[in-house]
Amino acid sequence: MKEVILFFGGLALMLITALGMPAQVDAHGTGHRVLNGEHLVALEFYYSDQTPMRYAEALVFSPNDAEVEHQYARTDQHGKFVFCPDATGQWVVKVSDGMGHAEQATVMVKPEKASGPTTAPSVPASFTGQGSMATWIKAVAGLSLILNACFVFYFVKRRTK
């Protein structure tokens, strides 16, 4: 009888844990933030725990050519990267750390509203990206993993006796 209660208790715990999890889990999520500058586009790339993507490879693609990169560079030690677009339109920045983590930022560069050359673009202040899971969700997921591993170990050990 005790085994049946433990089995259904463990099953109920797993069900409650599964229902409490979000539909999309970002185990190794990334995000980015667009930072403003005079005729510059600055982006900050980071992992899901908000640590910077240090020295990651950055490829910039212009609106005129989506196959050949306009610029190749690396982020700095703070995960920041700056480029100077020479045309208006949708620019794509792809960043990869070479270890399986990658993020893609799309930046819409608009012409300045003030008088001047149309090739001097400006970027409106914005925040984009997926961001990170909440800390409490990470804690619940970790605790659930540990408890489920303990339940499996317990039931396997009981069956071998």
Residues 46 and 112 in one domain: yes
Q: What is the pLDDT of residues 48-61, one digit of tens each?
A: 889 999 999 999 99
Residues 149 and 124 in one domain: no
Between 137 and 44, whose confidence is greater?
Answer: 44
Q: Rounded to an integer, what distance in angstroms lies between the CA atom of residue 56 and that of residue 40?
A: 20
Burial of 159 (0-12, 13-18, 19+ CB in 10 A): exposed
Q: What is the pLDDT of residues 114-156, one digit of tens each?
A: 223 444 444 454 445 555 556 777 778 888 888 888 888 888 8
Residues 80 and 144 in one domain: no
Residue 75 lies in a domain: yes
Between 130 and 40, whose confidence is greater?
Answer: 40
Cβ proximity of 42 and 85 under 8 Å: no
Residues 51 and 92 in one domain: yes
Residues 110 and 153 in one domain: no
Residues 67 and 144 in one domain: no
Residues 105 and 155 in one domain: no
State percent of the chain over pLDDT 70: 73
Q: Is 36 helix (H, G, I), strand (E, B) or coil?
A: strand
Residue 88 CB neighbour total at 10 angstroms = 17
Residues 157 and 126 in one domain: no
Cβ proximity of 30 and 97 under 8 Å: no
Total-model pTM: 0.53
Range of the domain at 48: 30-130
Residue 58 lies in a domain: yes
Burial of 59 (0-12, 13-18, 19+ CB in 10 A): middle
Nearest to 97 by CA among 52, 36, 59, 56: 56
Q: For residue 119, what pLDDT is reported?
A: 42
Number of domains comprising the chain = 2
Residue 78 lies in a domain: yes
Residues 68 and 101 in one domain: yes
Residues 156 and 117 in one domain: no
